[in-house]
A = this chain, B = another copy of it.
Amino acid sequence: MQRTVFFISDGTAITSETVGHSLITQFPDVDFRQVRIPFVGDTAKAEDVVRRINQSAAEDGAPPIVFNSIVDEEISAIVTSSDGVILDLFAAFLDKMEEALGVSRHASVGQAHGLANLERYEERMEATSYALSHDDGISTSYENSDLILVGVSRSGKTPTCLYMALHFGVKAANYPLTQNDLEKQVLPAFLRPFKHKVVGLTIDADRLSQIRETRRPDSRYASLKQCHWEVEAAESLLRMAGAPVFHTTHSSIEEIASRILAKLGVQREMF
C-alpha cells in the first residue's frame, strides 16, 4: 500500500519531519512517499501546498497524511482546508501547555531551528571546529575536550564526535588506537592525564571487517583475523584503563551519542 506523507512548516520542517518519521515507523507495512515542504511563510505558498496535497489525494485515491507545524494560524488554516488528514503539532499541544503554564503563547515562527540563541549556536560551531581539529588523533592536546572517543580504526568515532559537536555543542575529540598501543595494552602517554574523559567505542569484528573491506578490499587491515585481534586487544586495553565502553554494531550515531551523554550525565540541550 502506497501513501503520501507531507512534512509542512514555516521553518525548516525539521520538527515536523522528525515527529512524522517517528510515527510512520509504527506502520511498517505502508510504503510512504515522503514530501518535505519547508518555509511555507505566506498565504500564496500555503495555497500551493494545498494544490500539491489535493493532487496527491487524487493520484493516490486516498488522502495524504500531513504533519503540519506552521505557527501562523492564518497560514496554517489554509493548509488545514486541504484534502489531507492534518496532524497539527501546535494545535495538539499548545492549549494544554498554556493551561499548565498559566501564560499565553507568543507565536514566533521557526524559532526552534533558527538562531534564537546565538551564544548557544556559536558553542556548537566552535565544538564542530574542535571535533574536526581533534579528529583521528590529528591534535592530541586534549585540555579543552569534554570527552575523547577511543577505539580501533572504523569503529564509528568520527561521525559520533561530529554529531555530538553539531547538536549538543560537546567538544568531542577522538583517537584511533595504534598497533603499538594495542600491543603495549596501555593508553598512550599523552592520553593518560585525560583518562577520566576517555570513552571507548567497540564493534563486532565481523562488522568491522565488512566496513574495512569497502575501504581497502582484500587487505590485511580488513581481514577478519586482524579485526578480531584488534577488537579483543582494544576491549582489554579499555577495560584496564577503566573507560566506559559502548558497542556500535547495532546502534546509530544518534543512539550512541544519546547513550554516552546519558552515561556521563551531560544535560546539554540538543539543537
Q: Which residues of A contact B (CB under 8 A)?
A: 1, 3, 11-15, 17-19, 21-23, 25-30, 34-39, 63, 65, 69, 71, 85, 87, 89-90, 92-94, 96-97, 100-101, 103, 105-108, 110-116, 121, 124-125, 128-129, 132, 135, 158-159, 162-163, 166, 250-255, 257-259, 262, 267, 269-271
Instruction: From known contacts A14-B18, A267-B35, infer whether A29 and B112 are also in contact, taking CB-CB under 8 Å.
Output: no
Given known A-B contacts A23-B93, A30-B103, A113-B255, A270 and B14 have beta carbons under 8 A apart = yes
A267: which B residues are within 8 A, CB to CB? 34-36
Q: Which residues of B have CB within 8 Å of A159? A: 124-125, 128, 166
Given the complex, which residues of B lie within 8 Å of A15, measured CB to CB? Answer: 18-19, 21-22
Compute how far the CA of A105 lies from the CA of B28 in the bound complex, rounded to whole angstroms: 8
Chain B residues lying within 8 Å of A89, measured Cβ to Cβ, are 19, 22-23
Nearest CB to that of A125 among chain B residues? Answer: B159
Partner pick for A13 among B27, B29, B85, B258, CB 8 A cutoff: B258
Contact at A101–B27, with CB atoms within 8 Å? yes
For A30, A37, A110, the residue with the greatest tally of chain B CB atoms inside 10 Å of its CB is A110
Chain B nearest Cβ from A170, distance in angstroms: 13
Q: A181 → chain B, closest Cβ, in Å? A: 23
Tell me, rounded to whole Å, the shortest Cβ–Cβ distance linking A189 to chain B: 27
With both beta carbons as reference points, the residue of chain B lying nearest to A16 in the complex is identified as B22
A204 CA / B61 CA spacing, docked (Å): 49
Q: State whether B255 touches A114 (Cβ < 8 A).
A: yes
Closest to A15 in B: B22
For the complex of A and B, the 5 pairs showing the least CB-CB separation, nearest first, are A25-B111, A22-B112, A12-B258, A85-B100, A113-B254
With A27-B101, A35-B267, A110-B255 given, can you name 15 additional A-B contacts, CB distance below 8 Å?
A1-B103, A3-B101, A15-B22, A21-B269, A23-B93, A25-B108, A26-B97, A26-B106, A27-B105, A39-B259, A65-B100, A92-B93, A114-B255, A115-B255, A121-B252
